[in-house]
């Protein structure tokens, strides 16, 4: 299994496919273990790296993961087969904002288009089990977050601005209690304050 994970890291680096940084991945896996998370919905599969790592935390974990890029989806299917995890990881090909899903999950992991974070959060919060959590990656976005005013490139400035808006949205959200972690590329953990 370690060989497949190493191969995926190499493949992602060679092809320029963004996958979770190791420290962020370790944090996520420990969080899943410590909080006894059993069902996970991921937005942004890429080649299946984080889905596989999360499923490997425990034999009774299931993951549903959504990816809109067909080539990455096909690559993820191959990797999941190599790890013999087809029964526990279900991939969905499509745009997470357009597809209809069913089911309830202990955890939602958002790791897709950064400009759409609020939309993903608002659509998929209804898929959480009581007390569930929403974890979001790239909250620091390579150290740019908090400095959008100083960025010269308009596109980058707008993208970073969207992540800053998302952070404000999380901080002022009364349904969820959010903690921010300066680990990997920055992660937020939002726990549903269900009564």
- 8 A C-beta contact, residue 92 and residue 99: yes
Angle at 122 between CA 94 and CA 100, to 5 degrees: 35
Q: Is 111 in the site for ligand SAM (CB under 6 A)?
A: yes
CA distance 74 to 91: 10
The 66-85 contact track toward ligand SAM, x by CB under 6 A, reads xxxx--x-------------
Q: Is 96 in the site for ligand SAM (CB under 6 A)?
A: yes
Q: Is 46 in the site for ligand SAM (CB under 6 A)?
A: yes
Q: Is 19 in the site for ligand SAM (CB under 6 A)?
A: yes
Q: What are phi and psi of 152, to 5 degrees?
A: -75, -45
CB of 174 to ligand SAM, least distance (A): 26
Q: Is 4 in the site for ligand SAM (CB under 6 A)?
A: no
List the one residue out of 142, 102, 135, 139 whose CA is nearest residue 120: 135
CB of 129 to ligand SAM, least distance (A): 21
């Amino acid at each position: 299994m370690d060989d497949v994970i190493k191969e995926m890291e190499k493949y992602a680096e060679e092809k320029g496919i963004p996958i979770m940084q190791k420290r962020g991945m370790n944090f996520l896996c420990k969080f899943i273990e410590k909080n006894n998370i059993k069902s996970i919905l991921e937005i942004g599969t890429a080649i299946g790296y984080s889905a596989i790592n999360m499923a490997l935390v425990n034999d009774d974990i299931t993951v549903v993961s959504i990816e809109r890029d067909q080539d990455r989806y096909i690559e993820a299917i191959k990797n999941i087969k190599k790890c013999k995890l087809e029964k526990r990881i279900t991939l969905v090909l499509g745009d997470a904002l357009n597809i209809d899903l069913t089911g309830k999950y202990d955890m939602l992991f958002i790791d897709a288009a950064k400009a759409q974070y609020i939309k993903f959060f608002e659509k998929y919060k209804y898929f959480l089990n009581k007390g569930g959590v929403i974890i979001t990656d790239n909250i620091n976005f390579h150290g740019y977050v908090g400095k959008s005013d100083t960025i010269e490139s308009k596109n980058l400035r707008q993208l970073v601005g969207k992540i800053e808006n998302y952070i404000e949205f999380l901080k002022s959200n009364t349904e969820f209690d959010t903690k921010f972690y300066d680990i990997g590329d920055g992660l937020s953990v939002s726990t549903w304050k269900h009564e």
